[in-house]
Chains A and B, each alone.
Chain A
């Protein structure tokens, strides 16, 4: 079953057209990568899904047209967006960030269990549970951003450049944890990533964007090491 389907999605910032007909299909429990160079429209595609940018075309989640919905309504349907730049709540402690993530949930017991699960998934956060999020290291903030997203028990996770600005070993830790999350929870994912090799450790398939259009779509095995991938990044 298809969980999320984008068809001919367009979006622009003022006069600049950023998305020019992007299509994407995410099956239940699937993980799909969006690859491409800077400015190709990767982040904007995620923003179109989560309702933070006005978009045209068709965006259907779980059989429901969600295009034009407000971000909090999209979140309430079960889509959690981990934005570029992490978007942690700096003035709040780690625990408070996690509680905000669970804002829409009414099952106090489940929330407590999921906080424990997050701390097990990201042990670094355990010692920082009372620290303000703004005092965390970049890697810890990224872990907190993912943890906050999964606290809402989403069916779909939108992950934007989770490796950005992190040391390679930290980036690998973050992706290891997200892969474990995927296996254990079955949450579907859309993964935007500069580092294609890192993305392929997580996703089953991917699409390559160039100036707001899909230029190549395939399974990870097909795409891995293809020249087009290199070309899309280097523009050569």
Chain B
């Protein structure tokens, strides 16, 4: 039983890593209507900026805050000077551009800081505490709580604020939004900036665990996309819960389902995606999109 609980707790902790990235993907989708594959790359870049700042003697918390500001500006600039050229065309083109951007950012990070693993200082202590007979690191608890806070803030942003409503309106139909006086270009910039800033938070939270490399989030991005599909593109709470489910199931399957083991556990979220897409295409928590013809 202790083993089971330990696996669940560890699963929640890795799930929180996926959740951080998944929230950023949801944010940019809600605000621009796109799936942004560059999200992980922007988060890694932010983590490198924070890491570089700490190496210059800047205190960790301040370095992370500065990397968040840097990311907001970078996200906004990417929208203004790169994505805007593709927003009026085929959405698929824009998505491919984000994939190219991911490759570019990864390459630039590797060029500037090499592909070697770097130790990123943790915000939280590595000591473990005993809870219900299992040991949990304070870092895991801290990361998970931080994700929950971000999730609640995002949910509140989209459901309860004028800015959130405006961001969604622009994503759904930019021209109609403009007819109601919404400054479409500026809102798209803000949407990208916020998503990149959120990515910076995610990067700083997970970098100590994964150690900093240019490809640090490539794996996590795949799991995050799985969580996004599972949880529903429109629901911050949904994707966080889905990310936790993925983290936990992956761990449990590796240990309890003989033929999966640690080698095949990567397949678990994808089996889940297949099942969900067949049974409930809008995701577990997503709102169903009905199109009348």
Which A residues fall within an 8 A CB radius of B?
Answer: 50, 52, 70-72, 75-76, 80-83, 87-92, 96, 99-104, 132, 134-138, 148-149, 151-152
Check A152–B169 contact: CB distance below 8 A: no
**Shortest beta-carbon distance from B21 to chain A in Å:** 23
Which listed segment binds A: B70-78, B84-92, B113-121, B285-293? B285-293
Besides A87-B173, A132-B287, 11 other CB < 8 A contacts? A75-B181, A87-B179, A89-B168, A89-B172, A89-B177, A91-B172, A92-B172, A100-B169, A103-B182, A138-B292, A149-B180
Within the complex, which residue of A71, A76, A100, A135 is in contact with B290, where a contact is CB–CB below 8 Å? A135
Inter-chain contact A100/B289, CB cutoff 8 Å: no
Output the residue of B165, B166, B179 with the most chain A CB within 10 A: B179
Q: How far is the CA of A102 from the CA of B165 in the complex (A)?
A: 11
Measured in the bound complex, the distance between the Cα atoms of B289 and A101 in whole Å is 21
Whether B176 pairs with A92 at a CB distance below 8 angstroms is no
Interface of B is mostly: helix
Q: Which residue of B lies closest to A50 (CB)?
A: B179
Interchain nearest-CB distance for A139 vs B (Å): 12
Whether B168 pairs with A71 at a CB distance below 8 angstroms is: no
Task: Give the interface size class of chain B.
Answer: 20 to 34
| Contacting pair A90 B289 (CB below 8 A) | yes
Can you list 6 A-B pairs, Cβ within 8 angstroms, ordered by A?
A100-B165, A100-B166, A132-B287, A134-B290, A134-B291, A152-B181
Interface centre among B166, B177, B184, B287 (most CB of A within 10 A): B177
Q: In the assembly, what is the distance between CA of A90 and CA of B166, in Å?
A: 14
Does A152 lie within 8 Å of B290, measured CB to CB?
no
Closest 5 CB pairs of A and B: A87-B176, A75-B181, A71-B178, A104-B181, A100-B169
Q: Which of B149-206 contact A (CB under 8 A)?
A: 162, 165-166, 168-169, 171-173, 175-184
What residue of chain A has the Cβ atom nearest to residue B178's Cβ? Answer: A71
Interface residues of B in 267-293 (CB under 8 A from A): 287, 289-292
The answer to whether B180 and A75 have CB atoms under 8 Å apart is yes
Q: Which of B175, B182, B287 contacts A83 (CB 8 A)?
A: B175
Closest A residue to B177 by CB, please name it.
Answer: A100
Inter-chain CA distance A149–B173, complex, in Å, is: 15
